[in-house]
Every structure is written in C-alpha cells, then in structure tokens.
Amino acid sequence: MATSFDPRTFKNFINGDWVSARSGKTFENRNPANRHELVGHFPASDASDVDAAVDAAKAAYDKWRLTPAPRRAEILYRVAQHLIARKEDFARAMTQEMGKVLDETRGDVQEAIDMTYLMAGEGRRQFGVTTPSELPSKFAMAVRAPIGVAGLITPWNFPMAIPSWKIMPALICGNTMVLKPAEDTPLSTYHLTYAMQEAGLPPGVLNVVFGDGPGAGAPILRHRDVHLVSFTGSTEVGRLVSEACAPKFKKCHLEMGGKNIIVVMDDANLDLAIEGALWGAFGTTGQRCTAASRIAVHKKVYGAFAEKFVERAKALKVGDGLITGTQMGPCINEQQLGTVMKYVEIGVKEGAKLAAGGHRLEKGALAYGWFHEPTVFTDCDPKMRICQEEIFGPVASLIPFGSFDEAIAIANGVNYGLSASVYTHDVNHSFRALRDLQTGIVYINAPTIGAEVHLPFGGIKNTGNGHRESGTAALDFYSDWKTLYIDYSDKLQRAQIDTGE
C-alpha cells in the first residue's frame, strides 16, 4: 500500500481495480505546509473515466441492492476495523496533504470510523411502517428502497469524514456510486477506498475518479445513468450542481457555505466563551463550513472579551500540523490564502479595526507554505462584507450588541443558516435561541463546530436545499419510500369509496 511518505503515481478505482486515467494525465498533490514536498501524482480524470466508473456502478447495482442489508453491514463493520488499525497512519498522511493539525486529522479519521459503525448498525434498522388499512382484509406498509447510482462530490477540508458521510449511508441503503474527491486531498480518499477494498466490498459498488471539477465532477452531474447527486462545497458551485441536476430531475443534495456566529451574553462564562470562540474561529484554520467567523458580544462584557480574545489569537502557534505544539496549520492552497488576504483588505477598507494578524506568514520554516496569521477584526458592523460573506479562513469579526433581541437579529441577518452558538446561563435566553435562530444546528455554551454523527447535519437558506447528512436522516436521501398494499379479500376494494357504509 502506498503511503504519503512514498510519493508515487496513484490510480482511479473502477470496478474493483486500480487504473490510470485513460488520458494518461496526472496532477500533483503537494503539502500546503511546504509546497516543495510532493505527496503524490493522481489521475486527471475526464468524461471517459467517469463513463467507465458509472458503467461499473450500474452493472453492480442489481446484485448489491439484492444483497441483504445486514450482509452489507458486515462489510462496513470490517471497514471500520481497518480504519481503526491504520488511524494514526491515515491521520499523519492527511495532515501532510491537507495541513490541519494532527489532533484534528485524528478526529477526521475517527469521524469516518464513527459514521461507518453508525451506518453498519442501520443494516438491521432500516425501519419502515405498518399501519391498519381502512379496508378489511388488506395489509398496508411502507419500506425503504435503493435508488440506483449515486454521484458523490466531496471537499478538501474533511477529506475522509465527509466522503464517509456520503458513502456509508448510500451503501447501506443498497446504492452503488461514483465518488470524486477534491483535487487538493485525494490521498485520504485513496486510503478510505483502500480500506473498503480490503474489507471485501464487491467490485463496482464504489468507484473513485480523481480530478478537478470541470474534468471529472461535471461529467458525473450530466451522466444519464447517475440517479442522485450529493455535493458538499461552496454555495456558488452548489448552484451549478443544482442547475445540472434539474433537467433530468435527479435527486440532489447540497451542503454548502456558512457564516456562523457565536453570541456571548453578559452572563456568560467568559473564559469558556473565549476558548470556544478560538476553536470555532481558528480550528482547521477557519476552513470549515461551521467555522465561527462572527462573534457577537454583549456591550457589558465586550471590552473584557475582546482584550482576552485578541491576546489569545496572537499567541496561537502557527506551523506544520505534524509538529507537536502547532495549534493552527496553513490554508489549503495559494488561491485560498489569496481569498483570505483579499478579505483582510476589505475589512480594513470597511473601517473595521484590525486588532490581530492580517498578514501572510512567510519567514523561516513557514516560507514555503500557505500560512496566514490568526486575524481578528473588532468593532465590526454586522452589515460589513467581512460579517456577511464566507471567507473560509482564519478571520474572526467581533460585533458588539446591546440586547438579546439585537443579537438574534444579527445572527439571522445573513444569507446562510448552518450553525450558531450562544454562551449564557439564562435558561430563557437559551430556549429562545434554540427556537429563533435560523440555522440547522444550534449550540448552547459550546462553539459552532463539533457535530456528532448520529444527529442530522445541515442548514437552511443558502447553506442547503433541505436534505441532511448524518444520523438516520441521511437514509432519507439515499433511499426512496415504497408503499405496499396487499389485498387478500379476493374482491375489488376501492380506497375512499368502499367505506362499508
């Protein structure tokens, strides 16, 4: 098995075999903490590779859907065991290709393990419903049915966890699939796929094509034999995915951007809120759809909070995530670093006070990576672009407010609706926040990140289109409800007409 420390040319996984892109073209995967360090070469797939992958998934579908769900689950249990055995290796390789610190990549692999075990358990729990018929001698029930070939497109920030969110429920429901991971983090998907092959997944059930969005992603969306699509990424690309799926009425799941907020009330435990805000804003270098890029603080405690938060942000150790003591890694690539730098300029021009950071880091050991300082703007107006638009980097904006109602209005005053958090000891404020915040996820006295796999994950407004990842809610996307009637009366009975009166 190839590892990230043994750079070589990796291959697509189609119909149970590792194969090169038909064009022979490859792309480089490099370490964002040191762009001179090559992780490996991966196939630059195109429509011909996608066609082969979809053909394999289509051919494998009938046998897989007829495999009893508990038997499918046994394979997933073995996958989880393989991931456990290689967790440390996979985490270190993920840090090398993605940049986030080792504790976080260990958590990423663990999330894939948790999701795999969860969905394996659903192999015996895909419950339907039985209900009394309104007619005599008639039986009525509803069951889940698989849909067909799933097209899965995943991002780079959680390169093993998010693929597992899609692969595992799709598999346990009886679908086959073609996965295209982000071109910035192909190695982690390779490792996950390898574990699934080792666990005995039949050929064609999971197929993986590496490459970029136009070359490998778009052909998946357009393919006539792809029946459902699940996409995680930016809102802008998600809109294109939706438009591509619409002409054929493909079932489409979109998990997109966020502009999440932490609200700190005047009765909050400030030290706890600061810890949560630091983790929410700068965990994964702020490159999370759940990152807390807005922190609204009650005016009574704003000064004390801002002083401590800025001090702690300045003290964060930035560097290679494999080095012990590193607290924040690099941006994923030059383009993302450029986006962060652009928004810092926007914030300054808008009149926000740059209280910490604001610059690219390029001295010493950081010279060859895509590093940016943890950045804090204070005294922000909630209508500023840095408080409205997703930055996806280590930039936090502090916003003062005077009342709980004002805080809720600030929180809801964006186009996104993924995650929100309130720090307070007031039970009334807590329950009003749970009711009134326009997000799919709400935390009380915890940051905006840290979802658990057995609960639904997703948002509203420009964050999502109504479907959810994780938990049993994921089964609703990867299966269709089929309603079944068995009439054993031996005569014609008409619902709503033959009422017996």
Residue numbers annotated as active site: 255, 289
Cα–Cα distance between 97 and 370 in angstroms, integer? 12
Q: Which helix (H) or strand (E) holds 190?
A: helix 186-198
- State the CB neighbour count (10 A cutoff) for residue 500: 7
Residues 6+ apart with CB under 8 A from 259: 293, 294, 387, 388, 389, 390, 414, 415, 416
**Tokens encoding 112:** 């894939």
Tokens of 250: 């493909």
DSSP 201: P
**Residue 434, helix vs strand vs coil:** helix
Q: What is the DSSP letter of 140?
A: E
Question: Using alpha carbons only, how large is the chain's radius of gyration in Å?
Answer: 24
Tell the burial category of 363 from Cβ atoms under 10 Å away from its Cβ (0-12, 13-18, 19+).
Answer: exposed
DSSP of 243-292: HHHGGGT-EEEEE-----EEEE-TTS-HHHHHHHHHHHHHGGGG-STT--
Tell me the C-alpha distance between 222 and 2, whole Å: 32
Residue with tokens 């926007």: 346
Cβ neighbour number for residue 396 with a 10 Å cutoff: 30
Q: What is the dihedral of CA 78, 83, 86, 91, to 10 degrees?
A: 170
Question: What is the distance between the terminal CA atoms of the chain, rounded to a whole angstrom?
Answer: 72
CA atoms within 13 A on the CB side of 208: 27
3-state secondary structure 36-77: EEEEEEEECCCHHHHHHHHHHHHHHHHHHHCCCHHHHHHHHH
Mind giving me the DSSP string for 452-464?
Answer: -TTS-B--EETTB
Q: Rounded to whole angstroms, how far apart are CA atoms 370 and 35?
A: 8
Residue tagged 């000891």 (tokens): 425
Sheet harboring 138-145: ordered strands across?
A: 129-132, 138-145, 480-487
Which two three-digit tokens encode residue 3? Answer: 């590892």
Query: SS3 of 465, please?
Result: coil
Number of separate helices (H) and strands (E) present in the chain: 14, 23
